[in-house]
Structure 1
Amino acid sequence: MPYFRSKYFFKLSTAGLISCFVFSACENDLKKIKEISELEVIKPVERSKDVEIIFSDSAKVKAKVEAPVMLNHTVAKPYREMPNGVKITFYENLKPVNVITAEHGIQRESENLIELHKNVVAKNEQGDIFKSEELIWDGKNKKIRSTQPVQIFMKNGDIINGTGFESNESFYPYTLDNTTGIFNVNENPGFTQ
């Protein structure tokens, strides 16, 4: 009889362990469901396609933002996300003076900022090309800045690298900290011997 009791006890212990695993699995599943439902709340309320936003001052177009997709997030600080690319064209007297493209953008309307991320490329009216992984357009102060490395390909062939980039909306003039570069030097400056 003691043998049967221990065997019976073993079966009960095994059944108890299995039920603990099942209940703990249910608990984990409930946690996952709660996490997923919280993510659903964070999802954007609005999805727009082929978006064009015009920024103007005194009825004059100052900038145009174009994006194939825009997601409107309504969290504590609402923002708009452009996950499939963005293009910003800046104007002076209705003439384009600078174009910036990026793979990803975020507009923070309350701060009057547009953050551009991933493969950011800008070209100014002088023909200089700017490349970085991040540029931030501060619409309030009409400045463009970055703390990330920036590479500038000058129209004359010079290449400038640096960080701490800041410029106006036309990308000229600009400042760049910690600069290094490759500069073309005229080997025959015109001096006679």
Structure 2
Amino acid sequence: MIIKNSFFYKSIAVCLFTAMLFACEGNLKDVKEMEKDFLEPQSKVYELNLFYTDSGSVKANLRSPEMLDYSNREFPFREFPQGIELDFFEIDSSKNTITSDYAIQYLETGLIDLRKNVKIVTSDSTILTGPQLYWDQQQEWLFTDYKYNLQLSNGARNEGEGFDADQKFTTFNSRSNTGIQYIPD
């Protein structure tokens, strides 16, 4: 009798263990589905036309065909897979424009990664082009390790590889360059 009870209890234990294994398989599929949803953007915005104002005056205007918001990630970011066009307005209403075919904004660091056909046109007609450019919003600083072309408003030209500069181009440090500079007498 003791042997039969022992066998009976062991059989029940094996059946419960087997059932738990199959139950875990179903839960694993549910967990993978939830993870898949987490990898998707939190929101999608189409035909974005965003104005940033301060004290009643427009400071910036951001336009993009599509924005994907991944604020739900551990390292949150916003992606602009079809590019951006961003206008900055100075106190005197002058406008600086940045365009690129792709952009990603890292929310915690304030860093914006602009890629593919990056072009900056300042209010004084300075034009900078290149394949990639980083913009640190907090430090108001631009930098890249890629090739760039710079045409200043006075006609001077500069081609090089790698630079860093403040966002108004009053300080411009190039790692290597060639070009034509006009120096007043």
Same fold per TM (> 0.5)?
yes
**1:80 matched to which residue of 2?**
78
Deviation, 1:69, is: 0.4
Where 1:176 maps in the other structure, the secondary structure is: strand
Deviation, 1:165, is: 2.0
Counterpart pick for 2:50 among 41, 48, 53: 53
Contact 2:147/2:159 (8 A) holds in 1: no
Deviation, 1:36, is: 8.3
**2:145 matched to which residue of 1?**
147
Q: Which runs of 4+ in 1 moved over 4 A?
A: 34-40
Percent identity of equivalent pairs: 21
**2:38 matched to which residue of 1?**
41
Letter in 2 for 1:161: G
Deviation, 1:167, is: 1.8
List per-residue Cα deviations over 1:159-184 (Å, max 9, x = no partner): 3323122122xx33231322322327
List per-residue Cα deviations over 1:77-123 (Å, max 9, x = no partner): 22111000101111102624311100111122222232211111111
Letter in 2 for 1:54: F
Counterpart pick for 1:177 among 169, 174, 182: 174
Does residue 71 of the first structure (1) align with residue 71 of the second (2)? no
Where 1:147 maps in the other structure, the secondary structure is: strand
CA RMSD of aligned residues (A): 3.0
1:3-22 pair list within 5 angstroms = none
Write the distance in 2 (CA, Å) between the matches of 1:55 and 1:146: 26
Deviation, 1:53, is: 2.6
Letter in 1 for 2:159: I
Letter in 2 for 1:165: D
Contact 2:143/2:162 (8 A) holds in 1: no
Structure 1's 157 and 98: CA in aligned 2 closer, same or farther, altered over 3 A? same
**1:164 matched to which residue of 2?**
163
Q: Give the TM-score, by structure 1 length.
A: 0.66
Write the distance in 2 (CA, Å) between the matches of 1:78 and 1:104: 17
**1:105 matched to which residue of 2?**
103
Aligned length: 154
Structure 1's 135 and 60: CA in aligned 2 closer, same or farther, altered over 3 A? farther
Contact 1:146/1:166 (8 A) holds in 2: no
Does residue 62 of the first structure (1) align with residue 59 of the second (2)? yes
Write the distance in 2 (CA, Å) between the matches of 1:57 and 1:79: 24
Structure 1's 57 and 143: CA in aligned 2 closer, same or farther, altered over 3 A? farther
**2:93 matched to which residue of 1?**
95
* Runs of 5+ consecutive residues of structure 1 not aligned to the other structure: 1-33, 186-193
| Range that drifts further, 150-159 or 121-130 | 150-159
* Runs of 5+ consecutive residues of structure 2 not aligned to the other structure: 1-30
